[in-house]
Amino acid sequence: MKPLVITYLYPAEMNLYGDRGNIIALQQRCRWRGIDTRLDEVHLGANYDFSASDIIFGGGGQDKGQELVAKDLTRHGTSIKSAAERGVPMLLVCGLYQLFGRRFTTTDGLDIPGIGLFEAETTGGAKRLIGNISVESEYGTLIGFENHSGLTKLDSGQKALGRVIKGAGNDGSSGQEGAVFKNVIGTYLHGPILPKNPSLADFLIMAALSHKSGRDLKLEPLDDSLELLAAETASRRPR
């Protein structure tokens, strides 16, 4: 099989709180299983063929970074949404999670358009939501760290990633965290999220392999004792 292509959106502008660690986790878990990977980075102004992507990842950034990438992301919006419809797995954290919704309105009233993959909108809040977070999801209990002032509201038909056990999540009041569309996952969990949540990392890899091969595949199990110990330790930390 050809290498699994991991596409990293705007690594220079959207990379906070260890987000690149998600790329490292995906590559390492593939390497342990003998799966070759290739990392493509998409930078501002560059042309890119998203039909080559097997996994798409984007991280968080400052409002200024979001403003910079929003126009470029809109240019790729049709191609990215087409990939999502085909079942290509994606993970979007914080800033790019917000821009995969319809819009992000900053605290200064600036409207930054998103690509509308998620039925959601985000507005800047007066208070930052910071701390450790636990979320019950179909991928198990997810452990991470959140640091955002954006308040994301999901439309009534938009599926959330999970239910907040500890922390604020999308808006600090709904009890919802993140959003899901097919194999696309949006979340506020930094940390990075994948090293401490191997079941979520393996979901993305398995979905990518199945999409690439056109058949359902199972992954060889790995010894996740260290990853699960890290998650358990993080879950006991105070908010």
Nearest to 187 by CA among 116, 84, 58, 92: 92
Asked if residues 142 and 191 have their Cβ atoms less than 8 Å apart, the reply is no
pLDDT value at residue 186: 98
Distance CA 65, CA 70 (A): 8
Spatial neighbors of 225 by CB under 8 A, at least 6 apart, are none
With contact defined as beta carbons under 8 Å apart, do 122 and 103 qualify?
Answer: yes
Q: What is the pLDDT of residue 200?
A: 98
Give the residue numbers marked as catalytic.
94, 190
Q: What's the confidence (pLDDT) of residue 115?
A: 98
pTM, two decimals, is 0.96
What are the two backbone dihedrals, phi and then psi, of residue 204, each rounded to the nearest 5 degrees?
Answer: -65, -45
Q: How far apart are alpha carbons 205 and 212 in whole angstroms?
A: 10
| Grouped pLDDT means (10 residues each) for the chain, 239 residues | 95 91 98 98 97 97 90 96 98 97 94 97 95 96 96 98 97 97 97 95 97 91 96 89
Fill in the DSSP letter of residue 146.
E
Q: How far apart are CA 18 and CA 101, in angstroms?
A: 23
- Bridge partners (DSSP) of residue 113 are 103
| Nearest in space to 95 (alpha carbons), one of 66, 55, 136, 129 | 66
- Residue 161 in contact with residue 118, Cβ under 8 Å? no
The predicted structure's pLDDT at residue 137? 98
